[in-house]
Amino acid sequence: MSNRKTADRLIEAIEASGRHYRDSLPMIASENILSPLVRRACDSDLHGRYAEGLPRRRYYQGCDDFDTIEEIGIESAKRVFNCRFANIQSTSGTNSNIGALKSLAKPGDKITAVSTADGGHISHARMGAVGLRGLDLVTYPWDEERMEPDIDAAADLIRNEEPSVALFGQSVFLFPTPLEELSQAAHEVGAKVMYDAAHVLGLVAGGKFQDPLREGADVMTGSSHKTFPGPQGGFVLSDSDDEKLHRRLNSGIFPGVCSSYHLHHVAGKTVALSEFEEFGSSYAHDTVENARSLGEALSSEGFDVLAEERGFTASHQVVTRHGGIDSGAGRDAAATLEEAGIITNMNMLPGDTKALSPSGLRLGTPELTRVGMGTDEMQDVARLFARVLLEGEEPSSVKNSVREFKSQFQTVQYCFEPGPAYPGL
C-alpha cells in the first residue's frame, strides 16, 4: 500500500470516528466537545511552536504573542477558580498530578488516597503517578453506601500514618468529598492537602459541587476537557499566599513534566476560560441536573443505580451495577450498548478486583448537556437503555432510534458562537 493510501485510510478512520459520535449518545464521563472558537485556537500556527518557561521569561525568541495569550489565560483561571495561583501549561490531568506531587513530596514519602477499587484514579495508584514518584501509598477506608471516604476512619488513618500528602478526588466521583474534616486531620500532622478535581473541575468552578480551595486543599489539580469543556490539558491551582509553593508548583510542571507544552491547547484553554466565565454556571447546573434526572429515570426503569438513598449523584456521573462482583457484567453491558449507539465505559465498583471484568458502568452527562439535552431527554435516554439491556431488543433496532433522536442535538452550546458539534463530516 502506498504512503498516500495509508494517509487516506487514516483520514477515513478519523472521519468515521466523528460520524460514530455524531450519530451516537456519547456518555463517557471524562469526555466533552469543543466550541467553534476553541477549535479555531487549537487549529492554529501555535501547534508547532515552543515556549519553555513562563511568560516574559522564555528560553526561546518569538514568544511575545504567546506570552500575551498565557498571561490572559492565567488571569482568567484565577478569576474562574477564585485563586491566587494558576498554572495552565499542563498537558493533561495526570501530568498535573505528577507535577504537583513532585512539588509536594519526595520519593519514599507517604501519601494517602482513594483506592482504584473504590473509585480512585489510576494516577493515585502505584501503577500511576504515585508509583512513578516512588511514594508509599496508603488508601482510605471507604463508605460504600455514601460512596466517599469513611470520615472518622479516614481521619484516624491520616493522623496515624502522618503522610506528606493527603490526596483526595476520584475517577468515580458522585458526591463532594468531606474535605473540611479530612483536611483538618491532614494539617494537624503537617501534611499538604491535594484535591484532584479532574472530573468535577467545571462543576467546582461553576459553584455546583464543592469549593476545595476554601475547604482545606492547598493545591487543586484538574483536567481541562471533562466538566470543564475545553481542549485536552490540565490545570494546577492554589489559593495559598506562599510564593515558595507557587514557585515549586511552576517548576513541577516546567521543567518537571513538560519542556515545551502544547501551545495551541493553552490558547484553547484560554478561550474556554473566557466562555466559562460567561456560561459556566449555567452549564454546570444543567450538567448536574441532567445526571440526577438520568439516575432517577434509570432507577425507575429497573436498573440498579448506586447511591439511591443520596439522590443517585451530585455530579455529572451516574453509576449502575449489572451483576455480581467481578462478573464482567459491566463490560458486557458496555459492549451491547455500543452496538445500539450508546457509548459508555465499564467500571470497577466497590468489591470488584478485576479491572477488565467489572460489574458496573460509569455514565456521564457532559456531552449530552453540551449539545442541548435537558432533563426531559434524560428520560428518553433511560428508555433506550432499558430497551437494550432490560427488554432484550435487538441493538441494531435501538441504534436506529438513537440516530434519529441524536439528529435533533447537533449544535454545541454554552459558548460565544454556537456551531456544529461534530464539524467537518
How many residues does the structure list for the chain?
Answer: 425
pLDDT of residue 100: 97
- DSSP letter assigned to residue 106: -
Distance CA 258, CA 199 (A): 22
pLDDT of residue 143: 94
Architecture of the domain whose range is 38-275: 3-Layer(aba) Sandwich (3.40)
Q: Which residue has the cell 436506529?
A: 400
- Cα 261 to the center of its chain, rounded Å: 20
pLDDT of residue 425: 60
CA distances from residue 110 to 251, 336, 391 in whole angstroms, order as listed: 22, 42, 49
User: Are 238 and 249 in contact, with CB atoms under 8 Å apart?
Assistant: yes
pTM reported for the whole predicted model: 0.96
Alpha helices in 125-262 (DSSP H): 129-132, 151-161, 179-188, 201-205, 243-253
Residue 45 neighbours by CB under 8 Å, 6+ apart: none
Angle between helices 375-389 and 263-301 (to 10 degrees): 70
pLDDT of residue 1: 63
pLDDT of residue 316: 98
Q: Do domains 38-275 and 279-419 have the same CATH topology?
A: no
State the amino acid at position 255 in one-letter form.
P
Scored b (16 or more CB within 10 A) or e, 394-410 reads ebeebbebbeebbeebe
Q: Does the domain spanning 279-419 belong to CATH 3.90.1150.10?
A: yes
Q: Which residue has the cell 494558576?
A: 86
pLDDT of residue 126: 86
Distance CA 118, CA 221 (A): 20
Distance CA 200, CA 213 (A): 14
Distance CA 249, CA 62 (A): 25
Q: Which residues of the chain have pLDDT under 70?
A: 1, 424-425
- Grid cell in block for residue 195: 484535591
Distance CA 342, CA 383 (A): 12
**Phi and psi at residue 417, to the nearest 5°:** -130, 85
pLDDT of residue 127: 87
User: Are 306 and 147 in contact, with CB atoms under 8 Å apart?
Assistant: yes
**Taking Cα atoms as reference points, which of 63, 135, 61 lies closest to residue 97?**
135
Distance CA 15, CA 35 (A): 18
Residue 37 neighbours by CB under 8 Å, 6+ apart: 271, 275, 415, 416, 417
Distance CA 112, CA 168 (A): 8
| Domain locations along the chain | 38-275, 279-419
